[in-house]
Amino acid sequence: MRTATPQKFGVRMLRELPDLLKQKDVKEILNIPEFDKTIVRESTHSPLEADLSLIKDNKVVAELSVKASTGNLDYIIKSWRTERRNLDLLAILPLEGRKNSNITYYVALIVVPKILRRENPARIRKYLLSVINAKREEEKLDRLWPTDFSEISGAIRDFELLRKQDEILRKQDELLKRQEVMIKKFDRIIEILEKIYEELKASK
């Protein structure tokens, strides 16, 4: 499995966003207005167009600048601040959480209002970290911090490998059970053949 780059991961997430944003709990948390249609613009497009437009009754009800992070929050802050249009930011952040020795990976969606766009980058960073910290407290984690996409890619790869191994073991177990059944059937056939042989021998 190839490691995801921020651009590739961002494009993939853009495709999934419409379905994610339709979920009631996600819509409420992110304060997303009601919409019945979306326009998703992947990769390069006009700087005057939003990455994601939400439409209700043929009218645009929200436009978002969507940025994916490499684990460095400054990357998305700088990208957002240098855009020509003043839009709300939807930040996509891979996070690594730890509780005792257990590790859990998250992908956070955080909306940053456009009123903060002209603020000092340090303040925007503080805002993002405050949302992440609130998530840490909610999940009762020891730590939760932005990580690189390669970490999540590696975790997904390891999970897929384990799942495939489990599938192979399951199929092996099924095969052994079938073989056991076949052996029992063969034993029964042998018993029948031996009985027939004895009957034939006795009839001579």
Q: What is the pLDDT of residue 176?
A: 59
Which of 54-58, 143-147, 167-171 shows the highest mean pLDDT?
A: 54-58
Residue 1 confidence class, pLDDT cut points 50, 70, 90: very low
Q: What is the mean pLDDT of the chain?
A: 78
pLDDT at 29 over 50: yes
Q: What is the pLDDT of residue 88?
A: 94
Residue 3 confidence class, pLDDT cut points 50, 70, 90: very low
d(CA 62, CA 54): 5
Q: What is the pLDDT of residue 93?
A: 84
Q: What is the pLDDT of residue 59?
A: 95
Q: What is the pLDDT of residue 69?
A: 74
d(CA 54, CA 203): 90
Which residues, in sequence order, are CB contacts of 27 under 8 Å at separation 6+? 21
Sign of CA dihedral 170, 174, 175, 177: positive
Percentage of residues in the chain having pLDDT higher than 90: 26
Average pLDDT rounded to a whole number, residues 138-147: 87
Average pLDDT rounded to a whole number, residues 69-97: 88
Stated pTM of the model: 0.68
Label residue 168 exposed, middle or buried (CB < 10 Å: 0-12, 13-18, 19+): exposed
pLDDT at 103 over 90: no
Coil, strand or helix: which one is 161? helix
